[in-house]
Amino acid sequence: MLIKMMKHIVMATYVTIVVMLLLLVAPALSGNSMAWPLQYDYYSSSCPKAEAVVRKTTEEIIAGNPTMGAAFLNMFFYDCFNQGCDASLLLDPTEEEPEVEKSWMPKHLRAYDAMDKIKAAVEAVCPGVVSCADIIALAARDSVTVSGGFSFPMPTGRRDALVSIAYDDDEPPNPNFMLHSLIDIFAIRGLDVDDLVALSGAHSFGISHCTDVIGYPTFAWNSTFADELRRVCLPRSRYGEMGPVLNNNRVTDPNVLSNQYYSNVLSGRVLFLSDLTLLSRNDTAAKVAYFAGNPLAWKAHFAKALVKMGGVRVFSGTDGEVRKVCNATNN
């Protein structure tokens, strides 16, 4: 009897989470940042198994290397924030286009080979149907399911870019940015302050590098945490070795996506200036505190913001193409 009761409680909680996510995610489609052709179940007729294949392959990759969950989200973020959610980030340089996004993106982006693997799996089922841009978006969503324990629908219908611009006029956020710069960069892409705070929760998992933390104002950090960072990073900096450091998460599994990030921000145990700066304004500080104490609310807002981000500057309809391989155009 007790086991049955527990099962009912778990199922009720899961249903509550799903309903809340659906209620918050669906309106994101009506915003200006989401192009009209993007829709749920876009491949239901042309490739019914597409999302299942992406999910299975993504799960296998993360099972083999749990840090890849963060890598998939990172790839989606950088792709959308430069040229748009168009898989331009995946294009290799050519003789005609020697300078592409990949040339100047952070060296720690690690999901390139994984994207090729997922694309190959999808092509084996439905050749020439599913875009690399959609694969990036779906893999990011599925990494949230695997690493964060919650799922939500991700609209599809994106097309792949024909070119990759190495230096976009709109610089994507970096760990040095203060709050006003972050807000401006998000606003240019149709994302608001709530989206900024919610998406920052992705810093709860993954790894970073000493290059992103050296020289930051340690007076704003937790003193014990600051000492830890100095012990790890300063010896390396003297010899030009700027290796990886643990992420913001110091309480739970560093490969788990969760709202623990917000408690870490409040206690000053975070790696980036862009994390600490969320406390520099009353409204963002209040949102940090709210998410720290309300994991379900954060999950819902994170899902909504990720879907909204996935509609930034997309190609759709007959624009762009559906690449046969993700690192090169079809011509």
pLDDT in tens, 177-223: 999 999 999 999 999 999 999 999 999 998 787 777 755 555 567 88
Q: Find the mean pLDDT for residues 225-238.
A: 71
Annotated binding residues, written as ranges, equal 79, 84, 86, 88, 173, 203
83 alpha-carbon distance from chain centroid: 15
For residue 295, the domain's CATH number is: 1.10.420.10
Same domain, 205 and 141: no
CB–CB of 247/271 below 8 Å? yes
How far is residue 273's CA from residue 266's CA, in Å, rounded to a whole number? Answer: 13
**Can you give the residue range of the structural domain that contains 271?**
179-306
Closest CA to 131 of 329, 326, 284: 326
Q: What is the DSSP letter of 241?
A: -
Q: Find the mean pLDDT for residues 304-320.
A: 95
Convert the pLDDT of each residue in 90-143 to its tens digit: 999 988 888 888 877 766 788 999 999 999 999 999 999 999 999 999 999 999
Inform me whether the pLDDT recorded for 149 exceeds 60: yes
Same domain, 300 and 225: yes
User: Does some domain include residue 46?
Assistant: yes
How many domains does one find in the chain? 2
Q: Which residues pair with 283 in a beta bridge?
A: none
Give the pLDDT confidence score for residue 32 in this predicted structure.
Answer: 42
Same domain, 117 and 221: no
- State the pTM of this model: 0.88
Give the pLDDT confidence score for residue 115 in this predicted structure.
Answer: 98
Mean pLDDT (the chain, rounded): 84
Same domain, 48 and 166: yes
Closest CA to 60 of 49, 48, 72: 72
Q: Which of 157, 172, 187 lies at the terminal end of a domain, its last residue? A: 172
Q: What's the pLDDT band for 231 if we cut at 50, 70, 90?
A: confident
Same domain, 113 and 189: no
User: Does some domain include residue 51?
Assistant: yes
Annotated binding residues for heme b, written as ranges, equal 203
Query: Distances in Å between the alpha carbon of 75 and those of 82, 86, 291?
Result: 11, 12, 24
For 130, the 3-state DSSP assignment is coil
Closest CA to 66 of 303, 261, 252, 271: 252
Query: Distances in Å between the alpha carbon of 300 and those of 29, 41, 68, 133, 199?
Result: 15, 20, 22, 23, 11
Same domain, 228 and 258: yes
User: Does some domain include residue 161?
Assistant: yes
Same domain, 108 and 165: yes
Annotated binding residues for substrate, written as ranges, equal 173
Q: What's the pLDDT band for 227 if we cut at 50, 70, 90?
A: confident
Give the pLDDT confidence score for residue 25 in this predicted structure.
Answer: 52
Name the token pair of 165: 């611009």
User: Does some domain include residue 152?
Assistant: yes
Name the token pair of 88: 């331009």
Annotated binding residues for Ca(2+), written as ranges, equal 79, 84, 86, 88
Long-range contacts of 231-239 (CB under 8 A, 24+ apart): 236/210, 237/210
Q: Any idea what the Cα angle at residue 317 is, between residues 119 and 110, rounded to 5°?
A: 30
- 297-307: buried (b, 16+ CB within 10 Å) or exposed (e) per residue? bbbbbbbbbbb
Q: Find the mean pLDDT for residues 268-290.
A: 93
Inform me whether the pLDDT recorded for 15 exceeds 70: no
Same domain, 241 and 258: yes
Name the token pair of 329: 């155009």
Same domain, 93 and 124: yes
For residue 93, the domain's CATH number is: 1.10.520.10
Q: Which of 154, 172, 190 lies at the terminal end of a domain, its last residue? A: 172
